[in-house]
Structure formats: C-alpha cells, structure tokens
Structure 1
Amino acid sequence: MSETLIKPDANDMDATVLESDELWSFVLKKTRQAWIWIALCRKTRQVVAYAVGDRSEQTCRCLWKAIPLPYRKGRCFTDFWAVYQAVIPEDQHTATGKEAGETAHVERWNNTLR
C-alpha cells in the first residue's frame, strides 16, 4: 500500500495529521464481529493504513505498526476509545468527541463503507 501513498511534505506539519477510527461489521452472522480500524490522512484523505480484528489493544497496535513511518510521526486524532491512549504516543495523540469535528473525515469515510 505504501507504494501508492502520496509522500508527505516534510516541511508541512499538516501533511502527516491522521484521523483514526474503527467500525464493526460481521461475517455471516452478527455474533461473528469483525472490526475495521482505519488511519486516514487528513490532508490527502488517503487511507494510509488499516487493520482488521477485534476491538482490542492488540488490533490497535497492528494498525499503528501498519502506518508508514513518516505518518507515524504526526498528530493523530481519535475518539475516546481507551486503547488508542495505550498505543499512540501521548505527545502525538488527541482524543476528541465527534462534535469537535477533528475526526470528521474518517467518520465520513466509515459512513461510506457502511
């Protein structure tokens, strides 16, 4: 996937700002949940990484590791799901509510998937 990403401009602080969120779907029946975790570049609206699993810290770590290094150095906005705080470095992470609009792009992407 990294071959198709726009390389972030090192001089543009906004080029590596990410919005991350997770949504669930199911496989054959609702008791077989699958969570899709997405990291979206705010500036380009590109999905820079994703992970599929449960809603655990382990899956969040898989998402974080899948984010290309230049993007992993930028700010990351998420909802208040506690596992984000356990995985994303504190100085880069901002947990925010939907009303603030800081995760609006990734929320819109998730609505498109739904």
Structure 2
Amino acid sequence: MAPAKSIDGLELDELCTYVGCKAQKVWLQLALCRRTRQVVAYALGCRSRRTARRLWRRLPPQYRRAWCYTDLWEAYRGLIPWRQHLAGYGRGPTNHVERFNATRRARIGRLVRKSLSFSRSWKLLDAVVKLFLHDYNATRKPT
C-alpha cells in the first residue's frame, strides 16, 4: 500500500454476505483510497457502529486525517470527524468503492447476492477477503 498524501481521500462502504447460512448476515466494510484505488482497511462484522469503529481503528494514522466520502449510513456520522466527512448520494462521492464492490462480487463467488455459495466460517471468509485484497492491492500501481 502506498503512503498517504495530503491530497488523498477515502471512500467508505459496506457489503453484505453470509456465513454458514442465509440467516447469518455478515457485513464487509472497507476504506478505499481515491487516488491509488487501493484498499486501506477492512472490517468484518454486523452492520453496527462497533464494526465501523473497528474499520476506523484499522486505518493507518495518516489516512485518518484524509477526507472521507460515505453514503448516508448514520454510523459514519458519529465516527468520522465532521470537518473531514462528506456524506451523500449522487454526483459520485462513493463511485470508486461501489465499483470495487461490484468487482469483488464478480471475482469472489461467496459475495454474490443471490448465490448458494457462502463461507462456512468467519475464519474462512476473513482468509478469502484478505487474500483477494492483498492480490488486488499488489496489482494497483500507485501514482
């Protein structure tokens, strides 16, 4: 992952998947650097403020000062300092991370919305996501 620059911004978003059965939802939250398109941090958990906090703690310190673009999910409002938080829909505040979510769904079968394939355990899901993100970040050339 490339070091943060003062011009960097982050896009934060979440994606739903399942562990064990369709009744056990898991949310995959991630932060994507707008400049490099690399994934800076991710967290697995329920769709709660606690998981959003875990994502925020996993961000490298230099990225915690960057502009953060999110959707209107309320958990981000109490977490990201208001001076650097830009939330909303339209005009593309989270276009890159939404596109990345589509890429993940296409490349990782267990993340497809209407699929019969899903992870048997949290450990397996975490391993698959970690491997995919490592490979994805390695192929991105930071500018």
Please, what TM-score do these two structures have when normalized by structure 1? 0.88
RMSD, aligned α-carbons: 0.9
Find 1:96's aligned residue among 88, 96, 101.
Answer: 88
Given residue 8 of structure 1, which amino acid in structure 2 is its aligned partner? Answer: A
Q: How many aligned residue pairs are there?
A: 105
In the other structure, the counterpart of 1:52 is 44
Q: Is 2:11 the partner of 1:19? A: yes
In the other structure, the counterpart of 2:139 is none
- For residues 58 and 46 of structure 1, the distance between their equivalents in structure 2, rounded to whole angstroms, comes to 24
In the other structure, the counterpart of 1:105 is 96
Percent identity over paired residues? 47
Larger radius of gyration: 2
Structure 2 residues without counterparts, runs of 5 or longer: 106-143
Q: Is 2:63 the partner of 1:67? A: no
Runs of 4+ in structure 1 deviating by more than 4 angstroms, as ranges, are none
In the other structure, the counterpart of 1:82 is 74
In the other structure, the counterpart of 2:129 is none
Q: More strand per residue: 1 or 2?
A: 1
Q: Aligned with 2:78: secondary structure? A: helix
